Chain A
């Protein structure tokens, strides 16, 4: 698997359940590719930032008291 494809699967994993073949291939790639491991962490962080933004936007606020931090379809990796 090459990195460009891996980034696509990592993104998809945030929205749908990857079939086992894709999960397996992706897992294998991530074992040997630091760039893609970071990509995964960073898009996960992006999602986290969006969660914060949608409940307590703007700058420098302490984390909002927010009971709705559940995102459906969390990543399957």
Chain B
């Protein structure tokens, strides 16, 4: 049931979700708090414009995403190019370890059968592992991934915003996806909660 107005009940029901979402991307509790407060204030101010075209929560999250995008842009300005390479070295060596010398999967490290993972989207345990894996992913690599997958930036927008090359962007996304996949497999699939 979607709320029709931004009342106290609505705010208390979405605030935690908004904070988790913001914290994951900004990696700074205070900044996340600010982003959420500003987003809610904007939403309240612009509530008249909300014509019910989508769930209210989706709309408020849209505002939050804009705030987060702005803050990520600012954060990224102080990121030297070398930061991506440093993170990359570590992630690349972890990825290397999964392959044999001929660059085929090592039998013990090849992707397992995840069965029907969609059911996992309703499990608390899955989301806990999901958040943990994103938190553990090195910050600059994670930022690129989350700009792509959470904030829906196109890759060329990411490149422009972060001043990285297109090929570098693809390399970083590959590292992120490979690492997250592996992390999810280890942390969720193989944690004993799934047969």
Q: Which residues of A contact B (CB under 8 A)?
A: 2-5, 7-8, 11-12, 14-16, 33-36, 38-39, 41-43, 45-60, 62-68, 71-73
Contact = CB atoms under 8 A, between A and B. Distances in A.
A41 B177 CA distance: 12
B150 A45 contact: no
Contacts, number: 133
Given A46-B181, A72-B152, A7 B174 contact: yes
20 contacts: A2-B99, A2-B102, A3-B105, A11-B174, A15-B155, A38-B111, A38-B112, A38-B114, A42-B111, A46-B184, A47-B149, A51-B149, A53-B127, A57-B20, A57-B127, A58-B127, A59-B124, A65-B55, A67-B58, A73-B154
A11 B21 contact: no
Q: Is the interface of B mostly helix, strand, loop or mixed?
A: helix
Given A38-B110, A38-B112, 18 more contacts: A7-B178, A8-B174, A11-B170, A11-B173, A12-B170, A15-B148, A38-B111, A41-B114, A42-B181, A45-B114, A46-B177, A53-B21, A53-B130, A54-B152, A56-B57, A59-B126, A66-B54, A67-B53
